[in-house]
Structure 1
Amino acid sequence: MAQYYSRRNLNFLLHEVFDAASLNKYPYFNAHDRETIDMTIDAVTQIGDNLMYPYLRDLDRNPPELHNGKMTVHPKVGDYLKAMGEAGLIGTSFSFEDGGQQLPETVSSCLGFIVMAANNGMMYTGLTSGAAGLINSFGTDELKQTYVANMLSGKWQGTMALTEPQAGSSLSDITSTAAPQTDGSYLVKGQKVFISAGDHDQCENIIHLMLARIEGAPKGTKGISLFVVPKYRLDGADNDVTSTGVYHKLGQRGVPAMHLTMGDRDDCRGWLVGEPHKGLSYMFQMMNEARIGVGMTGAAIASAAYCASVQYAKERPQSRRLNEKGALDSPQIPIIQHPDVKRMLLLQKAVVEGSLSLLLETARCVDIAHASEDPEEKEKYHLILELLTPIAKTYPTEMGLVAVSNGLQVLGGYGFTEDFPLEQYYRDIRITPIYEGTTGIQSQDLLGRKMTMKGGKPAQLLFAEVAKTIAEAETHEELKPYAQKLKAELGRLQEVTMALMPYAMQGDIERYLMDATLFMEMFGIIAVAWQWLKQGVVAKNALLTQQPEGDELAFYESKIHTMKFYFHYEVPKTLGLAVRLKDTEVLTIETEKELAL
């Protein structure tokens, strides 16, 4: 079995950097310790090894098919759903009371990382968990009892049905309608597009969490409500949800992306979740969870690509060292020994392991904000979570794409062929910067909302956490220069923010957010530099206190080496970004004539 993720690195992050087991100090998580955490990871890895990774290419080459309104997907999807459901691994973060394992999100998110690294063409269970979570949080007891258990068992699939042909990401422009009926249901009518896992034959029912407007509701986002719209009603009757089409995608071909029509025969019933007109605020719960999940998917695909790249580079002999070019009688060397190949591999490693660390940092905020009984601590981690979420979605997906591209380059011409998995990983990861809000949308959220929230308090709280890591690193001579570099980067980020704020204060929001994506890129680089310094501190402490040997020694030394690589190769990019962000020249507003062909 080829590797698709590093268990040693996952253990390092979970147990040494973030000490996930220590979350059991909160009563909500006190049923779990390192043993239960490791057992759960073992169970998911077994499913990944046996039911997912071996079928990576098969799902890609045998995509879903729609015939006469019936959608068929690869039969191994059914085996996967059954295994995950029977093992209780779909709703791991749900409470015991609601049929879950009450695991910290810090651990549950790692399970998502493993399955997506094994085969991201089986992106079904995360959608179901998110949809079930919405019903569980906001639905009536009747809705919970009707739907949640069947969804967490893997028998029923869940989806989020938001996007419409004319609206795209602008959800305020949706036109789907819902008319109240005397029996408490609503008559639903509309179209939804790009609905992942929106229909398939490997489960008994599809449960859509759908946004629509109740007749007479106000326009804009305030008039949107959320409904449970099943493919089949509880009596088995067809609910007038039609699979109108399936999109033929560049990647992630194992998961159908559907065009659905609700109410073609005026007989589609939906059931209101929560209160009328609050659907978008409810949906944001699932969307925020999904943003972290998409970031994890980006890191996971990049992880699988990195494993494949390292394996190839170790086995592929080509040429000789640059200083020995004339010695043609000497044997060729594995390409992993060539400096430029090693640079590309180190970039992959830095992105994968830095991204995963950032995502676990974010998940830890989810856990403490949820489980803490201290109001001040609860608010602190909620605000840091608000700030980190768009970054945790964006950096692993945008830089994950760059990492996979570098992996493909490591393989050279072979990387561009179907003989190796890199070309598939490159296709698969390309959707992740688009899912759950494009990079541009995430960037506007970061700069436009999160940086200004509560007078900038989330950023102040985050920077205080970074300062703690800097102080720890400064106790080690080897790490001190990197601590000082990170301190300077925080200053640069604050300087850029202060240069932009006057536009926001003047109400020129378009100018303020014009280069929000560049701000996101800069912030992402710095956030991951923080994570690498944090890993460097833990690795340095382990070297000093444990005096490891062999593979363990190499592991900790590689951590410090990769940290240094990140600071020397990636962090300097903030210099150019800062120059542009402070530049007063406006080049991207009202430029249609400049783009004429």
Structure 2
Amino acid sequence: MTLRPTVDFLLHDWLHVETLQQRERFADHSRETFDAVLDTCERIAREKYAPFNRLVDTQEPHFDGERVILPQATHDAQKAYAASGMLSAAQDYDVGGMQLPYTVEAAANAFFAMASVSIGSGMLTTGNANLLMVHGTEMQKQVFALNEFSGRFSGTMCLSEPQAGSSLSDVSTRAVPDGADFADDPLGPRYRLKGNKMWISAGEHELTENIIHLVLAKIPDENGKLVPGTRGISLFIVPKKMVNTAGELTGERNDVALAGLNHKCGWRGTT
């Protein structure tokens, strides 16, 4: 049994997704455009993901001392997914998006999850970029978010720590202002971070030009102490490779180092 009849039933017979076309944002869409997106994702999932689901489980990510090695199939799948436009599917037309209803975007992504959840990890990149589009400065959107939506950069979320798990209160990564002019950096106030993060999905690879980490860290109080609990936590943009205000790589590698790889049950093909 294929997934498509179930997706069609859920979207059209149960959720009545066509009623969204009455809203101005989705006025250009129709059953035909929704079907075209589903057709494209179903085809990519069948050709680039499903045949390699077992392969990426058996050829797990490994570290050669300098970089993480992933099978060519993972590189090919990532490129096909980025080329489909699905990373920015729900975004505005003027930033390269399709203004697709999230309901349809989520349904289309189900094909990749079914074909190989171990290969498909665009979710964190999209979530990372979405957050920057809402809370970032205009330059942060241009330099980081839009390059993630295009597939040129990828993104992560760095919360958990070896000694804390996912307990926010116990986060000990600290961030201190970087120099007297720290607030004058055009990309946003500049901090030096020190700490360890763990279980960071897609945290190191060569699939994209750069990886944009969103890192939770605490800013110490005036005495240099971390305030107990969740107070003082902020979110920092930490690129794997340094970039300039045009989004170009400067050639300088940021001091983000891989400490080791974990096996993740069900997601063995993901770093």
Q: TM-score, normalised by structure 2?
A: 0.89
Give distance in 1, aligned partners of 2:33 and 2:215: 36
Task: Tell me the amino acid that sits aligned with residue 10 of structure 2.
Answer: L
Give distance in 1, aligned partners of 2:177 and 2:96: 31
Residue 229 of structure 1 pairs with residue 235 of structure 2: no
Q: Which residue does the alignment assign to 1:79? A: 76
1:197 Cα offset (Å): 0.4
1:123-522 matches, within 5 Å, as 123-181=120-178, 182-183=181-182, 184-216=189-221, 218-234=227-243, 235-256=250-271
Larger Rg: 1
1:95 Cα offset (Å): 2.1
Q: Which residue does the alignment assign to 2:117? A: 120
Q: Which residue does the alignment assign to 1:59? A: 56
Q: Which residue does the alignment assign to 1:16? A: 13
Give distance in 2, aligned partners of 1:94 and 1:220: 35
- Aligned partners of 2:78 and 2:120 also within 8 Å: no
User: Tell me, what secondary structure is at the counterpart of 1:208?
Assistant: strand
Gaps of 5+ in 2: 183-188, 244-249
- Aligned partners of 1:124 and 1:157 also within 8 Å: no
- Aligned partners of 1:112 and 1:126 also within 8 Å: no
- Aligned partners of 2:220 and 2:232 also within 8 Å: no
User: Tell me, what secondary structure is at the counterpart of 1:222?
Assistant: coil
Task: Tell me the amino acid that sits aligned with residue 6 of structure 1.
Answer: L
- Aligned partners of 1:211 and 1:226 also within 8 Å: yes
Task: Tell me the amino acid that sits aligned with residue 72 of structure 1.
Answer: I
- Aligned partners of 2:217 and 2:233 also within 8 Å: yes
Q: Kindly indicate whether structure 1 or structure 2 has the higher relative contact order, using CA contacts under 8 Å at least 6 residues apart.
A: 2
Task: Tell me the amino acid that sits aligned with residue 231 of structure 1.
Answer: K
Q: Which residue does the alignment assign to 1:91? A: 88
State the identity as a percent. 38
Q: Deviations over 1:294-351 (max 9, x none)?
A: xxxxxxxxxxxxxxxxxxxxxxxxxxxxxxxxxxxxxxxxxxxxxxxxxxxxxxxxxx
CA RMSD of aligned residues (A): 1.4
Task: Tell me the amino acid that sits aligned with residue 208 of structure 1.
Answer: H
- Aligned partners of 1:121 and 1:255 also within 8 Å: yes
1:194 Cα offset (Å): 0.3
- Aligned partners of 1:150 and 1:156 also within 8 Å: yes
Greater fraction of residues in helix: 1
1:50 Cα offset (Å): 0.7
Give distance in 1, aligned partners of 2:252 and 2:94: 30
- Aligned partners of 1:69 and 1:244 also within 8 Å: no
1:87 Cα offset (Å): 1.8
1:44 Cα offset (Å): 0.4
1:251 Cα offset (Å): 2.7
Q: Deviations over 1:6-46 (max 9, x none)?
A: 21111111111111121121222222111111000001011
Give distance in 1, aligned partners of 2:251 and 2:137: 21
Give distance in 2, aligned partners of 1:236 and 1:139: 24
Q: Deviations over 1:437-495 (max 9, x none)?
A: xxxxxxxxxxxxxxxxxxxxxxxxxxxxxxxxxxxxxxxxxxxxxxxxxxxxxxxxxxx
1:69 Cα offset (Å): 3.7
Gaps of 5+ in 1: 257-597
Give distance in 1, aligned partners of 2:193 and 2:54: 38
Give distance in 2, aligned partners of 1:157 and 1:29: 27
User: Tell me, what secondary structure is at the counterpart of 2:142?
Assistant: helix
Greater fraction of residues in strand: 2
Task: Tell me the amino acid that sits aligned with residue 57 of structure 1.
Answer: R
1:573-592 matches, within 5 Å, as none
User: Tell me, what secondary structure is at the counterpart of 1:12?
Assistant: helix
Task: Tell me the amino acid that sits aligned with residue 173 of structure 2.
Answer: S
- Aligned partners of 2:69 and 2:206 also within 8 Å: yes
1:99 Cα offset (Å): 2.6
- Aligned partners of 1:65 and 1:73 also within 8 Å: yes
List structure 1 runs of 4+ shifted beyond 4 angstroms. Answer: none
Q: Deviations over 1:336-388 (max 9, x none)?
A: xxxxxxxxxxxxxxxxxxxxxxxxxxxxxxxxxxxxxxxxxxxxxxxxxxxxx
- Aligned partners of 2:215 and 2:236 also within 8 Å: yes
User: Tell me, what secondary structure is at the counterpart of 1:191?
Assistant: coil
Q: Deviations over 1:81-120 (max 9, x none)?
A: 2112222111211222333211111101112211100111
Task: Tell me the amino acid that sits aligned with residue 222 of structure 1.
Answer: R
Q: Deviations over 1:144-203 (max 9, x none)?
A: 010122211222111000001111121121011111122431111110000000001121
User: Tell me, what secondary structure is at the counterpart of 2:204?
Assistant: coil
Give distance in 2, aligned partners of 1:98 and 1:130: 16
Task: Tell me the amino acid that sits aligned with residue 81 of structure 1.
Answer: Q
Give distance in 1, aligned partners of 2:126 and 2:264: 24
Give distance in 1, aligned partners of 2:18 and 2:69: 41
User: Tell me, what secondary structure is at the counterpart of 2:57?
Assistant: helix
Give distance in 1, aligned partners of 2:94 and 2:230: 33
| Number of residue-to-residue matches in the alignment | 253
User: Tell me, what secondary structure is at the counterpart of 2:87?
Assistant: coil
Q: Deviations over 1:268-298 (max 9, x none)?
A: xxxxxxxxxxxxxxxxxxxxxxxxxxxxxxx
Task: Tell me the amino acid that sits aligned with residue 30 of structure 2.
Answer: D
